[in-house]
Amino acid sequence: MRKIALIGLFLLAILFVSCEDEGSAEISVITKERGNTKNGVWVEVYNAKGVQVQQVATERGIAYVKDLPSGTFTLKFKGHDDNYFPCIKVVTVRDGDARPVEVELTDPPDEGASVS
């Protein structure tokens, strides 16, 4: 009986932690290289603690990052060859936001962006 109670508490904790990071904000990331839409780019999304929370690929030069909670996120970009582009974007969203972010992949990182 005690094991069942512990398993139940463990599952409840997992559910709580997974719900904690869900939200309703969305970022539409438009990737460009030298002014032309760039397809085949992975967009990595990191929370304020530096933990990767999502990774999405562009389709037709757009990646949709969905279900973000309110907060500040760092976006890093890499090609299918696993090489990172120099651009790093820092974006702050609130629940319910739906915003486009146009990215020039050859731009330097945003000020305050973590390059590690």
On whether residue 116 sits in a domain, the answer given is no
Contacts of 77 (CB under 8 A, 6+ apart): 31, 41, 42, 43, 44, 84, 85, 87, 88, 103, 105
The residues facing 90 across adjacent strands are 74
Number of helices and strands (H, E) in the chain? 1, 8
On whether residue 4 sits in a domain, the answer given is no
Q: Please write the tens of the pLDDT for every residue from 24-55.
A: 999 999 999 999 999 999 999 999 999 999 99
Give the span between the Cα atoms of 18 and 28, in whole angstroms: 23
Q: What is the pLDDT of residue 90?
A: 96
Q: What is the pLDDT of residue 105?
A: 97
Task: Say how many domains are in the chain.
Answer: 1
Residues of the chain with confidence (pLDDT) below 70:
1-21, 114-116
Q: What is the pLDDT of residue 19?
A: 46
Domain CATH number, residue 81: 2.60.40.10
Domain with 31 in it: 23-104
How much is the pTM? 0.78
On whether residue 2 sits in a domain, the answer given is no
Q: What is the DSSP string of 60-109?
A: TTEEEEEEEPSEEEEEEEEETTSPEEEEEEEEEE-TT-EEEEEEETTSPP
